[in-house]
A and B are shown apart, each in its own frame.
Chain A
Amino acid sequence: MSEFALTVRHELVGLGGIVERNIYLTKRYLLWDVAFLVWTIANTLTIVFIARGVGLSAAAQNSLETKLLVGGVIWAFLGIIFEIVTETVAWERWEGTIEYTFMAPVSRPVHLIGMGVYAVIYGLLRAGILFVAVVAFIGIHLPQADYGAALALLAIASVSFIGIGMMCAVLPLISPEKGTQLGFIAQGLMLVVSGVYYPVSVLPHWMQWIATISPATYALRGDRASVLHGAGIAWADVWPLLVIGAAAIPLGLVIFRLGERYAKKHGKLKRSG
């Protein structure tokens, strides 16, 4: 086997190790995850029930319920990807393993992408349960839904979210005390501007501009069209996601690399805050 092939094999085994570790952790913290999922289901139900209180016709109510449900589910999916990737450093610091992981012979891009791969698997499973639970509870009719197109668009949007998560993952590295909280601010900003529960058009003009660079905007728009009208995958939603993803991953890696260098220079790559 050539040196290059050996390196690729080594990195892929390392990537598998990150996914494997996170599966172990999920297994061990299963009750926490179940509790969090129940909370998310309750929260999404609360939002979807808003459609019943507005006093619309049956068809309009079904449409609004679906829009809110898609918003809740997509945000639960993208939010979990963002959280898991962003907390790459925070988890290690909390467990006290940060020094071992950062001195291990696996490249940082593979480490971060491994976190992203696990986040997508976990997020999809969770979003699927959430969607089925809420639909079963409320009884929404989705005769035209194109689930294949909706899933494909989600997969494309995941890449951008992994990239943005990488950019935020650097925050706990630079600021052990406040970094994680700054990541929540970034996530909250995306929640506001991306039209999760309302059309982007209702936002102030300057917020609409920010919405154009949020991948969640296109994922939500495309998935709503697929689930409500069976619209399939629209190029108008795909190309912005591809562009944002193509920029976000390399930018995320560069930012993380700079942050790691800063942390090593200033002795911040350590167990405790």
Chain B
Amino acid sequence: MSTLATPISPHRCVPAETPAVEVRELRKDFVRRDRKAGLFARKRWPALEDVTFTMARGECVAILGQNGSGKSTLVRLLSTLLINDGGEARIFGHDAFHETRAIRRLVNRVSVEASFFKKMSAAENLSYAARFYGMTPRQTRDLIPEILARVGFPPDRRNEAMEHLSRGMQQKVALARALLTSPVLLLLDEPTTGLDPRSKLEVQEFIKEVRRLHDATILLCTHDMNEAEALADRIGILDRGRLLFLEPVEDVKRRFGVDTLEEAFFAATGRSFEEEHEDDEQREVFG
């Protein structure tokens, strides 16, 4: 691991006491067609409503929520892909909506879709991603094979087109891409959804390792409660755009007098985790 990319240190210009992530009363709405109200009627759907939380440096926080709860919207806001409608978000002291250039150097993301150029190989996709972070071909020549080996990617498939790789294999390359750019804040948006149990476990082990060895701050958005419990220091439940709480898992269970996170979700919302309302998808970015 010692020769992997050196993390970009935010410590040079940001005081040590500045939290990794500060989100205050963050709000995002989407306007959608409302067919029930008429042919051209539109309705404003709140995707996030006054979400407030902070994350310390090196901390791993999991946000649990159903489809349409606002998890992906939160990740997109923090990764500068959306502009807020209210409130603020700061990453290592930088305003997420006005200092996007500084933020982009510090943040990377692994989402449910691996998102690669399908015809290009793993090595070519990583090489392309590395250039955006100022890494020259000479720097990446040895680094890319090393990182791919680190995530357990077979060397003989390095030059194979991504479209020929399994989902689990693609997700490993996505993690390698995130690691290659040495992010100090890693945003994981359902990184193991759709993976087989073995790949899921491998990805989770790798996330633990990245945190331990690279001192990265991790925001994990998931609907897998076991995964959240296994990886995170604190757990929050995002329900229909509102963050109900964010605290250590034992505190959550104690607060509701329950044994599992499923029970805690039911106690907090009055619904089971699987139960979804038809309106929920309207809140999603993809709605």
CA–CA, A269 to B82, complex, Å? 8
- Taking CB atoms, residues of chain A closer than 8 Å to B116 are 95-97
- Contact flags B95-120 to A (C-beta < 8 A → 1, else 0): 00000010011010101010111111
Look across to chain B and name the residue whose beta carbon is closest to the beta carbon of A99: B81
| Cβ-closest 4 pairs across A and B | A17-B131, A105-B104, A10-B134, A28-B119
A264 interface residue (CB < 8 Å to B):
yes
Q: Are A20 and B107 in contact (CB under 8 A)?
A: no
Stretch of B19-27, B121-129, B145-153, B209-217 with 4 or more beta carbons under 8 angstroms from chain A: B121-129
Q: Are A95 and B118 in contact (CB under 8 A)?
A: yes
- Contact flags B266-287 to A (C-beta < 8 A → 1, else 0): 0000000000000000000110
B133 interface residue (CB < 8 Å to A):
yes
B30 interface residue (CB < 8 Å to A):
yes
- Taking CB atoms, residues of chain A closer than 8 Å to B133 are 10, 104-105
Could you list which residues of chain B lie within 8 angstroms of chain A, going by C-beta atoms? 30-31, 73, 76, 79-83, 101, 104-105, 107, 109, 111, 113, 115-120, 124, 127-136, 161, 285-286
Q: Are A261 and B119 in contact (CB under 8 A)?
A: no
CA–CA, A13 to B105, complex, Å? 14
Shortest distance between the CB of A170 and any CB in chain B (Å): 16
Q: Are A103 and B107 in contact (CB under 8 A)?
A: yes
Q: How many A-B residue pairs have CB under 8 A?
A: 97
Q: Are A96 and B113 in contact (CB under 8 A)?
A: yes
Interface size on A, residues (CB 8 A): 35
Q: Are B83 and A261 in contact (CB under 8 A)?
A: yes
Shortest distance between the CB of A35 and any CB in chain B (Å): 16
Look across to chain A and name the residue whose beta carbon is closest to the beta carbon of B107: A103
Could you list which residues of chain A lie within 8 angstroms of chain B, going by C-beta atoms? 6, 9-10, 13-14, 16-18, 20-21, 24-25, 28-29, 95-97, 99-107, 261, 264-267, 269-272
CA–CA, A124 to B144, complex, Å? 32
- Taking CB atoms, residues of chain A closer than 8 Å to B286 are 270, 272
- Taking CB atoms, residues of chain A closer than 8 Å to B117 are 21, 24-25, 95, 97
Shortest distance between the CB of A29 and any CB in chain B (Å): 6
Shortest distance between the CB of A262 and any CB in chain B (Å): 9
The verdict on A24 contacting B129 (CB below 8 Å), with A100-B115, A102-B81 known, is no
Q: Are B120 and A99 in contact (CB under 8 A)?
A: no
9 contacts between A and B (CB under 8 A): A6-B134, A17-B130, A21-B117, A99-B76, A100-B115, A101-B132, A107-B101, A267-B82, A269-B81
